[in-house]
Chain A
């Protein structure tokens, strides 16, 4: 857990001797456009500048390459195709060695260990065809067990320089890990890096748990658990491991919690018999304020990034649809307009879109729409595709896909905002209900 605390310092260093470094990229990818031909990229093993760094020089390059290839925007030119590797980080690359095997973007790097045990990772990015460096070299310093995070930071910087978008690789996902047969499923909370590495369990599997959500500080998680009998909302601090029930004296079932963007409140559903309404709970006083008052099921609230509005699902008009209201409650306006029913809306980190689950004619979809409900776009379709969560930069969604039948089980998938690049996220057991953190600090 301590990982999150460690600060990785980034220094933009004017690594000497590199003439012609470009601030503006000479190669770029427009990721909002149509079909993209992935950019061929090579990330040869980083140069180990000390003996202690030798064991990580290949691993760091592999993580950087995997991050870039995972986006679908880059294509790996494998090491077997290289004419030669990189042995001197400070020497100008032999561009012809790379252009002949069609590499367009070349990443070179070096890794060293200091006397204090700190790890130093440096990299440069080159446009092979223009024979130019793109941007300045960057150096990261951190503890050795944070080498993956440093690799993700390298990849984030490269992604940003080429796409113009902020990166998302140095991030984590909290989710529900599942084992056992379909009629005897065991669930527990777990957290992992966005790529499935560094998995840690946060609870045991003795109670049903649902839908964990990060606070913006990346340390607190809020979720639903049956551990006290009825489903209730619990807070978990990942550093101390301390777990508390949000409303100690609750007699009604509570579910679907999310933090407000400033972390001072939780919005959630309280189930009073046949009626489910949305409440905001102040985290310092634990005072609750009722936000909806319909006789239907109002659930899965999600704040806009500025905290001023809430999108939620409600069946007040018959089928379940999406509504937007002020964060203080009051009148809600329906935004979903298509056929079928809608659930689990999530406001995008950019504030301009809502991701949701749509159920229509027995099929589940992950979709996105503008905040006003226009431009609905369904990205996926399967037996059950449910519960989207946004990447920190709002370009990718994770969700869970559950297969049909007696052996049906959920796994986490990711898909681009464009509907391309559908991929399963590797987890050791079944997995569902992902929530993607912001970029770690």
Chain B
């Protein structure tokens, strides 16, 4: 119980960070880890997409529902993609370790498809995106508690195509 409470508090902090416009959900990845403060990031770059817009959205346990926070991130992703129309994306769906491998593979696909459907309804051309699921095969965080699981239940927008993959 104590573990779960801590997890919730940290999740709250993450959301607060997101509201300040700097620490959005997406900056938990590897990209931008070594950047110096104050350095301007080229808006067209993958680094900008990952750190300033946020390249991932998170899900509740066994859910594939796009929440309000996720909608804000996906709206920003769609706006960026509309600005750089030569870019294509792959949406990777992932699950935490609390399910069987095969079920989580389908659950990850359900999450990736939910993101795809949202982005298409927000005006992104369906031909510019594809989806893949990794189930619980590719965890980002390795601890076995909610603080890690909440970050692993994700759909990550991986940008490819055009601009020489800056």
Q: Which residues of A contact B (CB under 8 A)?
A: 181-183, 185, 208, 210-211, 224, 229-231, 253, 255-256, 269, 271, 273-274, 276, 297, 299-300, 313, 315, 320, 341, 343-344, 357, 359, 362, 383-384, 386-387, 402, 404-406, 408, 433
Which segment of B9-17, B68-76, B129-137 sits at the interface? B129-137
Contact B143 A405 (CB under 8 A): yes
Kindly list chain A residues whose C-beta atoms are within 8 Å of the C-beta of B141.
183
Instruction: Give min CB distance, B95 to chain A, whole Å.
Output: 11
**A315–B101 Cα gap in the complex (Å)?**
15
Is B24 part of the contact surface with A, judged by Cβ < 8 Å?
no
Contact B105 A231 (CB under 8 A): yes
Q: Identify A276's interface contact among B100, B109, B139, B143, CB under 8 A.
A: B109
**Which residues of B (86-134) have their CB < 8 Å from a CB of A?**
97-103, 105-107, 109-110, 113-114, 116-117, 131-134
The 7 closest A-B pairs by CB, nearest first: A273-B113, A404-B144, A343-B100, A276-B106, A274-B113, A297-B106, A406-B142
Is B5 part of the contact surface with A, judged by Cβ < 8 Å?
no
Kindly list chain B residues whose C-beta atoms are within 8 Å of the C-beta of A230.
132
A-B contact pairs, 27 of them (CB 8 A): A182-B142, A183-B138, A183-B139, A210-B137, A211-B101, A224-B105, A229-B132, A253-B105, A253-B109, A253-B132, A256-B102, A271-B106, A271-B109, A273-B117, A274-B109, A297-B107, A297-B110, A300-B102, A313-B103, A343-B102, A344-B102, A359-B99, A359-B100, A386-B100, A405-B143, A405-B144, A406-B143
Is B140 part of the contact surface with A, judged by Cβ < 8 Å?
yes
**A344–B102 Cα gap in the complex (Å)?**
8
Is B64 part of the contact surface with A, judged by Cβ < 8 Å?
yes
Kindly list chain B residues whose C-beta atoms are within 8 Å of the C-beta of A183.
138-142
**Main DSSP-derived SS at the A contact region:** strand
Q: Identify A300's interface contact among B100, B132, B133, CB under 8 A.
A: B100
Kindly list chain A residues whose C-beta atoms are within 8 Å of the C-beta of B138.
183
Instruction: Give min CB distance, A292 to chain B, whole Å.
Output: 12
**A395–B48 Cα gap in the complex (Å)?**
58
Residue of B nearest to A181 (CB): B142
Residue of B nearest to A298 (CB): B106
Residue of A nearest to B105 (CB): A255
Contact B133 A271 (CB under 8 A): yes
**A297–B63 Cα gap in the complex (Å)?**
12
Q: Identify A185's interface contact among B100, B113, B137, CB under 8 A.
A: B137
Instruction: Give min CB distance, A355 to chain B, whole Å.
Output: 13
Instruction: Give min CB distance, B105 to chain A, whole Å.
Output: 5
Residue of B nearest to A318 (CB): B62
Q: Identify B98's interface contact among A210, A299, A300, A359, CB under 8 A.
A: A359
Residue of A nearest to B138 (CB): A183
Kindly list chain A residues whose C-beta atoms are within 8 Å of the C-beta of B100.
300, 313, 343-344, 357, 359, 386-387
Instruction: Give min CB distance, B155 to chain A, whole Å.
Output: 12
Scoring A183, A253, A299, A315 by chain B CB atoms within 10 A of each residue's CB, the highest score goes to: A253
Mask for B23-60, Cβ within 8 A of A = 1, else 0?
00000000000000000000000000000000000000
Kindly list chain A residues whose C-beta atoms are within 8 Å of the C-beta of B117.
273-274
Contact A300 B109 (CB under 8 A): no
Scoring B106, B131, B141, B143 by chain A CB atoms within 10 A of each residue's CB, the highest score goes to: B106
Q: Identify A274's interface contact among B64, B98, B142, CB under 8 A.
A: B64
Instruction: Give min CB distance, A282 to chain B, whole Å.
Output: 22
Instruction: Give min CB distance, A326 to chain B, whole Å.
Output: 22
Contact B132 A210 (CB under 8 A): no
Contact B99 A269 (CB under 8 A): no
Contact A274 B143 (CB under 8 A): no
Contact B99 A255 (CB under 8 A): no
**A335–B134 Cα gap in the complex (Å)?**
29
**A344–B103 Cα gap in the complex (Å)?**
9
Kindly list chain B residues whose C-beta atoms are within 8 Å of the C-beta of A274.
64, 109-110, 113-114, 117
**A362–B96 Cα gap in the complex (Å)?**
12
Extra pairs beyond A183-B138, A231-B132, A253-B109 (10, CB < 8 Å)? A181-B142, A271-B109, A273-B117, A297-B107, A299-B103, A313-B102, A359-B98, A386-B100, A387-B100, A402-B97
Instruction: Give min CB distance, B118 to chain A, whole Å.
Output: 12
**A367–B81 Cα gap in the complex (Å)?**
48
Residue of B nearest to A229 (CB): B132
Instruction: Give min CB distance, A258 to chain B, whole Å.
Output: 11
Residue of A nearest to B114 (CB): A274
Q: Identify A384's interface contact among B97, B133, B137, B140, CB under 8 A.
A: B97
Contact B102 A255 (CB under 8 A): yes
Instruction: Give min CB distance, B104 to chain A, whole Å.
Output: 9
Kindly list chain B residues whose C-beta atoms are within 8 Å of the C-beta of A224.
105
Residue of B nearest to A400 (CB): B101
